[in-house]
């Protein structure tokens, strides 16, 4: 397995250290889960990988290139797709236009309008939003918004998909639906890095889990072993009632 | 072949485009049936304001670039024309696009400095830039912005007065229709998709691969070009200019903002509505002197609070009509509507 994403010795501080000398390696085809209590730095890590933030120290390589200094839009075109914990829909545009924008600008290779449409339709189909394609994105309920995040990320034809608490706030049935969708995306060959509090959703998809606390990695490995490890039990289960 | 396709037109957009095409044709023939020019004279200014309003709206309503410095491009157009036609003897009408080109060139370094600023700071920055350029023009020995300057008969190329008045009118019409067409074409294009996504959520747009700065810069330069052309035609229409009148923040930016706010920013029809409403109000208030601006300003403030999307926004609430075909609808199996 070739390494797709390599985070080496990355630190980020906002007055306090949010990420402290953290390294993680993701190979092509992996499905990695990231767990940790609130404030552990999970979303910050995702923002560093996606380019919304830049690390104070350390480097990030993707697909063989050092991308530490590149912008978010460049990383997207290079193949890093992401969903946000708080959905960022283009509310005045239709669901279809949202995903089309992702395909047109994010795919990283020039597409004709017909090709971009095809890619957008495929992403909408996978995410279960094809039926409401012409609805204003602002009118979508929460599940719809989460699905739109997914559809837009898929629309950029990512090599790696970064998911940030995509199951959070959904009903049990909705979570199960979403798990099936993510499974399918992974089966289609997309590498997955997934931050999630809902552990059973994570366990259904990922083959490795990294646990974080206060910006450092405290455990990494087989999902069940990591979740059962005393370090994780101590910091994670103690803080998170769910 | 995919079974999915994009449709942009709607029944009312077909009607809207047909209406505006017919209106353009009627306005084009005006010099032949408006014998004494009683309609032509006020229309030149109305049409030039439509062009200014469309461009300001493209910047502020779509690209999120709230510029209070558009007068710099008007002034550059005016002094460009004085230089090209008066000093260098180039045909005044051929000089108009050259003036736009100069404005576009100047807009690049202006963007270089101001694009580092966000929102309100950007607005102030553009205003400062406009003042700097006005002062340079004012103190320049060759541009002589401190004096009253006008185009002489020779530099106007010996065209008869009637011909000059008609050509100026047609240029104003071309700038108004062209500005509207530019906005429609930009919105229909990929750039429009990028603009609308940036307007709705800039971070989200970046995360989906949109090069936000490049998109905004492109719009900035297009608007500068067109505004520069308007500045040149304003001089063709006016007897004279000074750096104060050519670089007037009140005339070329503040009033334009009023029109766009009243008509509806972020739409294609709104700015046209705004210009017409402003003209109607201004006629009514012509003898009110200072009260004119107090009333207009108060109205803009009230509109901004009760109807932030302007008159067109109110119309949209009542019936979501789209007079220009810019939105994309997906058509194919499994898609509703």
Residue B171: per-residue pLDDT: 97
Residue A38: per-residue pLDDT: 87
Which residues from chain B sit within 8 angstroms of residue A100, using beta carbons? 6, 193, 328
How do the domains of chain A map onto residue ranges? 88-157
Report the chain B residue with the minimal C-alpha distance to residue A47: B207
Residue A242: per-residue pLDDT: 44
Element at B17 (helix H, strand E): helix B11-28
CB within 8 Å of B12: residues ≥ 6 apart: B321, B322, B323
Contact A152 B336 (CB under 8 A): no
Please report, for chain A, how many H helices and E strands are present, in that order.
10, 10
Q: Is residue B13 part of a domain?
A: no
Structure tokens at B242: 């000074």
Span A190-204, mean pLDDT? 93
Residue A241: per-residue pLDDT: 44
| Residue recorded with tokens 């929460």 | A142
Beta bridge partners of A25: A6
Q: Distance between CA atoms of A128 and A74, rounded to whole angstroms? A: 28
Q: How many CA atoms lie within 13 A of A150 on its CB side?
A: 32
For residue B215, the enclosing domain spans: 20-248
Q: Distance between CA atoms of B231 and B133, rounded to whole angstroms? A: 14
- What's the length of chain B? 337
The segments of chain B whose pLDDT lies below 70 read 1, 337
3-class DSSP assignment, residue B329: strand
Q: How many CB atoms lie within 10 A of CB A26?
A: 22
Given pLDDT bands bounded at 50, 70 and 90, which one contains residue A236?
A: low
Beta bridge partners of B7: B329
Domain tally, chain B:
1
Which residues from chain A sit within 8 angstroms of residue B194, using beta carbons? 101, 104-105
Q: Is residue B9 part of a domain?
A: no
| Residue recorded with tokens 């101001």 | B114
Which residues from chain B sit within 8 angstroms of residue A107, using beta carbons? 209
Report the chain B residue with the minimal C-alpha distance to residue A71: B206
Report the chain A residue with the minimal C-alpha distance to residue B193: A101
A173-192 confidence digits (pLDDT tens): 999 999 999 999 999 999 99
Give the closest-approach CA distance of A101 to chain B in angstroms. Answer: 6
Residue B222: per-residue pLDDT: 97
Instruction: Read off the pTM.
Output: 0.89
A-B Cβ pairs (cutoff 8 Å, strict)? 120
Report the chain A residue with the minimal C-alpha distance to residue B206: A73
Q: How big is the CA angle at A145 (ends B7 and B316), to the nearest 5 degrees?
A: 50
B249-282 confidence digits (pLDDT tens): 999 999 999 999 999 988 889 999 999 999 999 8
More confident residue, A242 or B208: B208
Q: Is residue B310 part of a domain?
A: no
Q: Is residue B39 part of a domain?
A: yes
Given pLDDT bands bounded at 50, 70 and 90, which one contains residue A237?
A: low
Given pLDDT bands bounded at 50, 70 and 90, which one contains residue A218?
A: very high
Residue from B117, B90, B74, B79 nearest B226 by CA: B74
Q: Distance between CA atoms of A200 and A179, rounded to whole angstroms? A: 10
Contact B330 A133 (CB under 8 A): yes
The answer to whether the Cα torsion of A57, A62, A65, A67 is positive or negative is negative
Mean pLDDT of chain A: 92
Q: Is residue B84 part of a domain?
A: yes
Contact B208 A91 (CB under 8 A): no
């Amino acid at each position: 397995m070739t390494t797709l994403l390599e985070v080496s010795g990355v630190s980020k501080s906002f007055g306090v250290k949010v990420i402290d000398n953290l390294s993680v390696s993701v190979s092509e085809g992996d499905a990695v889960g990231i767990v940790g209590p609130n404030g552990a730095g999970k979303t910050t890590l995702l923002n560093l990988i996606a380019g919304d933030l830049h690390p104070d120290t350390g480097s990030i390589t993707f697909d063989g290139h050092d991308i530490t200094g590149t912008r978010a839009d460049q990383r997207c075109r290079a193949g890093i797709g992401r969903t946000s914990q708080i959905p960022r829909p283009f509310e005045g545009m239709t669901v279809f236009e949202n995903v089309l924008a992702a395909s047109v600008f994010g795919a990283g290779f020039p597409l004709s309008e017909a090709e971009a449409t095809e890619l957008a339709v495929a992403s909408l189909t996978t995410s279960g939003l094809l039926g409401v394609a012409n609805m204003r994105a602002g009118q979508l309920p929460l599940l719809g918004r989460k699905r739109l995040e997914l559809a837009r990320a898929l629309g950029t034809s990512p090599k790696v998909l970064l998911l940030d608490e995509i199951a959070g706030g959904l009903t049990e049935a909705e979570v199960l639906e979403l798990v099936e969708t993510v499974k399918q995306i992974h089966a289609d060959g997309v590498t997955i890095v997934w931050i999630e509090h809902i552990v059973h959703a994570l366990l259904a998809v990922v083959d490795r889990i990294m646990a974080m606390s206060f910006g450092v990695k405290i455990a990494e490995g087989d999902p069940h072993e990591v979740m059962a490890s005393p370090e994780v039990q101590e910091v994670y289960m103690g803080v998170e009632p769910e | 072949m995919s079974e999915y396709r994009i449709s942009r037109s709607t029944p009312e957009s077909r009607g809207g485009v047909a209406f505006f095409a017919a209106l353009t044709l009627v306005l084009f023939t005006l010099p032949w049936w408006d014998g004494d020019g009683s309609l032509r004279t006020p229309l030149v200014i109305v049409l030039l304001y439509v062009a200014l309003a469309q461009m300001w709206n493209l910047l502020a309503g779509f690209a999120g670039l709230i510029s209070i410095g558009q007068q710099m491009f008007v002034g550059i157009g005016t002094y460009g024309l004085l230089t090209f036609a008066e000093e260098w003897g180039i045909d005044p009408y051929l000089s108009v696009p050259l003036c736009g080109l100069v404005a576009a060139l100047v807009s690049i370094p202006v963007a270089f400095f101001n694009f580092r600023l966000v929102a309100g700071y950007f607005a102030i920055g553009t205003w400062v830039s406009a003042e700097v350029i006005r002062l340079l023009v004012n103190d320049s020995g060759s541009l002589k912005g401190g004096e009253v300057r006008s185009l002489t008969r020779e530099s106007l190329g010996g065209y008869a007065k009637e011909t000059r008045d008609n050509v100026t009118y047609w240029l104003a019409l071309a700038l108004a229709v062209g500005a509207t067409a530019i906005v429609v074409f930009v919105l229909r294009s990929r750039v429009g998709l990028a603009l609308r996504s940036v307007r709705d959520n800039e971070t989200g747009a970046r995360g989906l691969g949109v090069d936000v700065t490049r998109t905004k810069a492109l719009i900035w330069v297009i608007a500068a070009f067109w505004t520069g052309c308007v500045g040149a035609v304003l001089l063709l229409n006016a007897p004279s200019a000074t750096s104060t009148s050519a670089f007037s923040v009140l005339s070329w930016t503040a009033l334009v903002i009023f029109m766009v706010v009243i008509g509806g920013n972020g739409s294609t029809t709104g700015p046209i509505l705004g210009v017409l409403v402003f003209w109607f109000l201004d006629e009514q208030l012509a003898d009110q002197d200072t009260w004119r601006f107090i009333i207009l300003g108060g109205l803009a403030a009230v509109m901004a609070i009760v109807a932030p999307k302007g008159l067109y926004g109110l119309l949209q609430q009542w019936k979501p009509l789209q007079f220009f075909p810019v939105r994309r609808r997906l058509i194919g199996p499994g898609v509703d509507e």
